[in-house]
Amino acid sequence: MDLLPDIWRQEYWLPPGVTWRDVEQLAESDRPRPHDLLVALPLALGFVALRYMFERFIAPPMGRCLGVKKRLQVTAAPSPKLEVFYSQRSRQPTQSDIVSLMSLCGKTQRQIERWFRLRRNQDRPCQTKKFGEAAWRFFFYLTAFMSGLACLVVRPWFWDLRECWRRYPFQPMERAHYWYYMLELGFYGSLLLRISVDIKRKDFKEQVIHHLATIFLLSFSYCANYIRIGTLVMLLHDSSDILLESAKMFNYGTGWRKTCDTLFVVFAVAFLVTRLVIFPSKIIHTTLVLSMEAFEPFFGYYFFNVLLMVLQVLHIFWAGLILRMVYKFLKGKLEKDERSDEESEIEEDDKGGEENMDQGEDYCLEKSKNNLNSQLSMLTNNCVLNNLTNHRASVADRMRKAQ
C-alpha dihedral sign at 159, 164, 170, 174? positive
Assess contact for 334 and 257: CB atoms under 8 A.
no
- Compute the distance between CA of residue 229 and CA of residue 216 in angstroms, rounded to an integer: 15
What residues are paired with 201 via a beta bridge? 343
- pLDDT tens, position by position, for the chain (403 residues)? 444 467 888 888 999 989 888 888 888 889 999 999 999 999 999 999 999 999 999 999 999 999 998 777 778 889 998 999 999 999 899 999 999 999 999 899 999 999 999 888 888 888 899 999 999 999 999 999 999 999 999 999 999 999 999 999 999 999 999 999 999 999 999 999 998 888 877 778 888 888 999 999 999 999 999 999 999 999 999 999 999 999 999 999 999 999 999 999 999 999 999 999 999 999 999 999 999 999 999 999 999 999 999 999 999 999 999 999 888 888 875 555 554 444 444 434 444 444 444 444 444 434 444 454 555 455 445 554 455 455 555 655 655 555 5
Per-residue confidence (pLDDT) for residue 346, from 0 to 100: 41
Spatial CB neighbours of 364, under 8 Å, sequence gap ≥ 6: 357
Q: What is the model's pTM?
A: 0.78
Peptide bond into 61 cis (omega under 30): no
Please give the Cα distance from 99 to 90 (Å, whole number): 15
- Using DSSP's 3-state secondary structure scheme, residue 343 falls into strand
| Contact present, 290 and 165 (Cβ < 8 Å) | yes
User: How far is residue 383 from each of residues 222, 374, 376, 379, 380, measured CA to CA in Å?
Assistant: 89, 14, 10, 6, 5
